Amino acid sequence: MSDSENQNKQRNQEKNPKPQRKRYYYRNKKKQYQNKQDNRQKSLAFSGFKKVSILVPLFNEEESLKPLYNEIKKSLNEINIQYEILFVDDGSTDNSLKIIKELCNIDKNIRFLSFRKNHGKSAALQIGFNNVKGDAIITMDADLQDDPSEIVTLLSKLQEGYDLVSGWKKKRYDPFIKKYSSRFFNYTTRVFSGIKIHDFNCGLKAYRKEVLDNIHVYGELHRYIPVLADWQGYSVTEVPVKHHPRRYGKTKFGISRFFKGFVDLITVVFTTRYIKRPMHLFGFFGALAFMVGFLINLYLTYEWIYRDISLSRRPLLFLGILLIIVGIQSFSIGLLGEFMVHNSKDDSEYSVKEKK
């Protein structure tokens, strides 16, 4: 090759230099460093919590447990925080307990409680509340419809200063009856309780430990935990969460839960609003019934005396008498309730936020 050709080639290389590729080693190092920085930032974001407890009540969910554990573990590894997973086996008759024991051998952060027979979700949650050790608690169902990746979202909202964060399954993948009966119950509960959240019964929730120390659930009251917490003065909010179709098994929803939920709603409304002032409920309806019955009978008395109208065939007379009797009884119940409340005052029933 001549000197002129070499000179031309050198000039072309200077004008269009060949881009140098970075070695894979350095690119990989940079990516690892960035991941460490992201994890460090996430850890700092949740530095207000010493330990997170994941509470999972379950009944006959043997196929879901291992995938659920893997997804929970993946989500917790992203935030690099101390954790425990507490499975509460509500008297399962399949291999759920056996699989939980296998998971305990794999991960020392897993614990479990097992009932001898099925007691219901409220009982499973309550025994779990009594045994968790974290200062932030996440509850979720074991059927994989709740997405464990939402743990970070719930903790972030809890870190903002709220005491209870409820998930909102904005887009649900449930059977028609379950979906629309839940909408009805959520609307009714929202009206009666005054709490502006959309999904009271979502299994995916986050709590501060002090909330669980001051509420007690039984029967079917797990649906109304936000109402019970709000009654104690804790701040309640919600965040939209992802919801998935059921992968394995069958739903535990039955038509009987529809009626149980309605009865429990009445129980919650009474215990949260009128447990300390029963006269405001029974006295109001008693006085109203008595006044309506009294006015009816007063009108009939006027017709009998001044218009000489016989009352023997007037069903309105019996209605008036019935309303007076019911009014007196209701008023008396309210009065007895006030006596009982007055004689059973206990300061431990009041939730104290701070003291010096």
Domain termination residue (choose one: 273, 298, 313): 273
Position 45 pLDDT exceeds 60: no
CA atoms in the 13 A half-sphere facing the CB of 42: 18
* CATH code for position 116: 3.90.550.10
User: Is there a contact between 237 and 157 (Cβ–Cβ < 8 Å)?
Assistant: yes
DSSP 16-84: SPPPPPPPHHHHHHHHHHHHHHHHHHHHHHTTT-S-EEEEEEESS-TTTHHHHHHHHHHHHHHHT--EE
Helix axes 24-45, 65-79, angle to 10 degrees: 90
* Same domain membership, residue 155 and residue 84: yes
Q: What pLDDT is recorded for position 186?
A: 82
* Same domain membership, residue 309 and residue 234: no
Domain termination residue (choose one: 247, 273, 299): 273
Amino acid type, 52 = V
Residues 307-343 pLDDT 10s: 888 877 788 889 999 999 999 998 888 888 777 766 6
Rounded CA-CA distance 119/12 in Å is 82
Average pLDDT over every residue of 233-256: 80
Rounded CA-CA distance 128/247 in Å is 25
Closest residue by Cα to residue 214 from 230, 192, 196: 230
Domain termination residue (choose one: 241, 273, 305): 273
| pLDDT greater at residue 263 or residue 74 | 74
Position 52 pLDDT exceeds 90: yes
Rounded CA-CA distance 112/148 in Å is 18
Position 271 pLDDT exceeds 90: no
* Structural domain harbouring 206: 43-273
Q: Which structure tokens are listed for 348?
A: 């431990």
Closest residue by Cα to residue 325 from 293, 288, 352: 293
Average pLDDT over every residue of 31-39: 50
* Same domain membership, residue 288 and residue 254: no
* Residue whose entry in the numeric block shows the structure tokens 């939730």: 351
What backbone torsions phi and psi does residue 241 show, to the nearest 5 degrees?
-130, 160
Q: Which structure tokens are listed for 85?
A: 């997973």
Does any domain span residue 159? yes
C-alpha 209, offset from chain centre: 14
Average pLDDT over every residue of 21-50: 54
Average pLDDT over every residue of 139-151: 91
* Same domain membership, residue 345 and residue 282: yes
User: Is there a contact between 67 and 144 (Cβ–Cβ < 8 Å)?
Assistant: yes
> How many domains in the chain?
2
* Same domain membership, residue 60 and residue 163: yes
Rounded CA-CA distance 37/208 in Å is 27
Give the three-class secondary structure for 330: helix
User: Is there a contact between 321 and 293 (Cβ–Cβ < 8 Å)?
Assistant: yes
The least confident of 109-118, 152-161, 183-192, 299-308 is 183-192
Q: What pLDDT is recorded for position 38?
A: 53
Please, what is the average pLDDT of the chain? 81
* Same domain membership, residue 73 and residue 105: yes
Position 12 pLDDT exceeds 70: no
Residue 302 to residues 87, 196, 295, 353, Cα–Cα distance (Å): 71, 50, 11, 59
| pLDDT greater at residue 166 or residue 279 | 166
Q: What pLDDT is recorded for position 311?
A: 79
Residues 77-128 pLDDT 10s: 888 789 999 999 999 999 999 999 999 999 999 999 999 999 888 899 999 9
Rounded CA-CA distance 13/213 in Å is 74
| pLDDT greater at residue 277 or residue 328 | 328
Q: What pLDDT is recorded for position 154?
A: 93
